[in-house]
Structure 1
Amino acid sequence: MTLDGFSGRPLGIVWPSDVSWRGERATAVKVGRRITGEVTDIDLDKGRARLSMTATEDPELWAFLRSRHRGEILSGTVAAIERFGVFVSLDDGPAHPVLPGVGFITVPELSWHHVDSVSDVVQVGQHVTCEFLQFDDWNGEARLSLRALRPDPFAAFAEGTRVGRILPVQVTRLVPFGAFVRVADGIEGLVHVRELARTPVETPEEVVRVGDDVTVVITGIDVQRRRLTLSLRQTSPDLP
């Protein structure tokens, strides 16, 4: 795309998702046609600007989203539930031209606990209060967090424990690289496959099963990443 005033070479690009939410994207633009778009990003290395035609298509929506700031509290009603997250129709925001709601909560932002099913956390029609995280200008939506307004159980746990502490736990999930165990309500830790037994094993199933009660020792606490690493072999002299 050649920008007005810069006819030397193409400096602008409009990605398919930025063309239009209404009608066929393939017919919305043609070679030689003049368009209007809002600059949403500038790539200095490639010397080009990303433009959004959808931003000028829905100026009220863009103005609303652009004026939000991280940490702002927004409320709304759960409009639709998908396997990848939840759409929220905001109380004080405009409607989205194609999506069920302007607000969106990804699965990890629903709860501090592991979420097997989104419907276990929220239901369509439920009123929720969330924290604004960012303006997603690819989809024209407000990324929200439900869990941000609730106490983080990992932070409280990490503050009251230490590396070297021995804990009774229950195995909750097995993955190729190890076993996840429930340390406390809402807190899981990983026992890497190399920490399951004193002698090398190829799969966690050789040592434990889901539902097993075992004893582990804390070998690492990463508060920033909310990660807890554990060892079974260091607490079980009877293991092979």
Structure 2
Amino acid sequence: MTVSRYALALLAGLAMAGAALPSTVLAEDFQPKEKGTLMLNVRLTDVDPKAGNDILTAANVDTGLNAEVSSSVMPTIGLTYFMTDNLALEVIAGTTKHKISASGLPVADTWVLPPVVALQYHFNPKGRVSPYVGAGVNYMLFYGTEDKTGFKSTKVDNGFGYALQAGADVAIKGPWSLNVDVKKIYFETDATTTLKPATKLHSKVDLDPWVLSVGFGYRF
């Protein structure tokens, strides 16, 4: 299944979940989104980078290898504050571990902390099913890098990117809701590996990950 189909499947799954809620649950009151609402979302998130860029020598000679970065599934949290009934600001935080390889050859394992701050527009804040779109910025912070297969060191540069977002909330009962969220993050970085002895390879890596999440929300 491609990423785009996976994203559509998540959105469709949430819609079906809302439609499948028992009538006794649907009859219960729920807390709408409105100005001043603070919302906490706890999600299970799949971060799926693109990568695939060429790996070059220090003299910019193509090695014939490609930089690859694995996907990772981890829990994340998002905190949203509604400035108006429709406009909200969300801060998303979490950390994921990824395997870096060169055309299948293990290079390093690294952790990344990619907080995102997004301005959102919620189309139906008073409704039980409430979709939204958003756009914002993120910062990629790489840490805890562990080198593999005899490499001396691997360094991935930190930096800023930007994000586009779409999602929906389905209210369940009171302050609780189901949430599905899809983000596309655009981020380019430089990765440098120092071999033994003192031979360097580098690659400009377009990570551009899809970030696909499902979880539960609580409205304060």
User: What TM-score does the superposition give when structure 1 sets the normalisation length?
Assistant: 0.27
Higher relative contact order (CA 8 A, sep 6+): 2
User: What TM-score does the superposition give when structure 2 sets the normalisation length?
Assistant: 0.28
Q: Which has the higher helix share?
A: 1
Q: Which has the larger radius of gyration?
A: 1
Q: Which has the higher strand share?
A: 2
